Amino acid sequence: MDNTGLEHLPAFITSLAIGLLIGMERERNPAAKAGLRTFAVVALLGTLLGMLSTAMGEPWLVAAGLGLVGLLIVAAYFNAPTPEGDPGTTTEAALIVCYCLGVAVWFGYGTLAIIIGVVTTVLLYFKPELSGISKGMKRSDLLSILQFAVLSFVILPILPNRDFGPYNALNPYHIWLMVVLISGVSLAGYVAVRLFGQRWGTPLLGLFGGLVSSTATTLVYARHGKANGEFMPLTVLVILLANLVLMVRLAVLGAIMAPEVLPRLLPMLGAGLLPGLVVTAYWWRKLAAGAELPAPEIKNPTEIRAALTFGAIYAVVLFMTALLSDYFGSRGLYAVALASGLTDVDSITLSSLRLLSQNKLLAQQVVTAAGLAVIANIVFKMGLVLFVGGAGLARRCASGMLAVGVGIGLALWLF
């Protein structure tokens, strides 16, 4: 097909497919002023003008085509009034995007254009769901998202990415990256609980509650179980699920921070997760039919004060781990793991993974520190359940929590 022009046919087929995809979604919308044919033609126009601008050396043709599409949109807007309450701007914006995607296909960005076309179609199709989510958000929910954006895209890029202090243990960029990582995981769980907690019931509450904070979820439902004795099986299930998620969370952190530690980390976490799942499955079977629990009332997970607190704790643990490891070897690291694990497992795990990446710790030392931190955290939460929820709830939760702790302890001892 060389020298016949047909060698460019795949680009036009790709543009046509993108236009048909977006246009198919718009065709089903009675309020849309453009449908299947219009979107297909606009996408082909973008590719055609891209080809002509290259062949003639006249890049202004692409800009002229965009202006022409804009004029067509204006004409359609005034000649076909929209239904009351629908300004119709979504279809017009989609037409402009479709034209630009056609141009992008010609200039060699076909794969990216296809991805953007699919994403555009998804956004158009799920308008009711997205609108419902937006209307269901509270002011505090939007504040959480904005604060996470500040943590991730304003503060993080301006921090220096180099080591400071004794033992070169403190890297401002990496410390704040951990703040962003934990805040992101917590925000995901927070949003999921807000949106789907009531709909999907207790299992999802336990899973996402564990993403936000297994300790906070344990505290919330220990109080609920004490106040509502008839819902005891539900309370136990939520607490056990939230604490099992901790194993998954640590595995994800290990995969992101130091994938080389996974062959040692996953067997240890699995040794705690599997027996915990068995006990949790037993309580699931005992779950009373029809009982419901309210979504956990968890505060804004991306609050600036909370983020700064975690960053400070992480930096202190990072420095103390390096210091004690230098003076006392692995025994110093394990002492820090037991102490910090009483309230927070993430800080010691992340700091150990950071030191592993600097070749200051061995993989087995990191795994042992994480395991000891989890065991200390289980002991702390068992005391929390006993003190807040009472002896009855503590007896029921003990089986699942002890199963996790014993499994991790055996893994550390054997391996």
Tens digit of each residue's pLDDT (9 = 90 or more) over 217-276: 676 677 766 666 666 777 788 788 888 888 888 888 888 888 888 888 889 989 988 998
Is there a contact between 369 and 376 (Cβ–Cβ < 8 Å)? no
Residues of the chain with pLDDT under 50: 1, 84-86, 198-199, 291, 293-296
Residue 4 DSSP symbol: T
The CA-CA-CA angle for residues 353, 358, 360, to 5°, reads: 85
Nearest-10 crossing angle of helices 172-200, 232-257: 150
**At residue 390, what is the residue type?**
G
Residue 177 DSSP symbol: H
How far is C-alpha 249 from the chain's CA centre?
Answer: 11
Distance from C-alpha of 39 to C-alpha of 71, rounded to nearest angstrom: 15
Question: What pLDDT is recorded for position 307?
Answer: 64
Question: What pLDDT is recorded for position 318?
Answer: 67
Distance from C-alpha of 101 to C-alpha of 43, rounded to nearest angstrom: 7
Question: What pLDDT is recorded for position 86?
Answer: 46
β-sheet bridge partners, residue 258: none
β-sheet bridge partners, residue 170: 164
Per-residue pLDDT tens digits for 284-313: 777 655 545 444 455 555 556 666 776 777
Distance from C-alpha of 167 to C-alpha of 326, rounded to nearest angstrom: 9
Q: Read off the tokens for 175.
A: 């410390």
Q: pTM to 2 decimals?
A: 0.55
How far is C-alpha 368 from the chain's CA centre?
Answer: 27
Instruction: Find the distance separating the first CA and the last CA of the chain, reported in whole Å.
Output: 64
β-sheet bridge partners, residue 235: none
Cβ-based burial of 368 (10 A; exposed 0-12, middle 13-18, buried ≥19): buried
- 321 contact partners, CB below 8 Å, separation of at least 6: 169, 332, 333, 336, 348, 351, 352, 355, 369
Is there a contact between 262 and 227 (Cβ–Cβ < 8 Å)? no
Largest CA distance in the chain: 84
Question: In whole numbers, what is the pLDDT of the chain averaged over residues?
Answer: 76
Is there a contact between 242 and 381 (Cβ–Cβ < 8 Å)? no
- 142 contact partners, CB below 8 Å, separation of at least 6: none
Is there a contact between 249 and 381 (Cβ–Cβ < 8 Å)? no
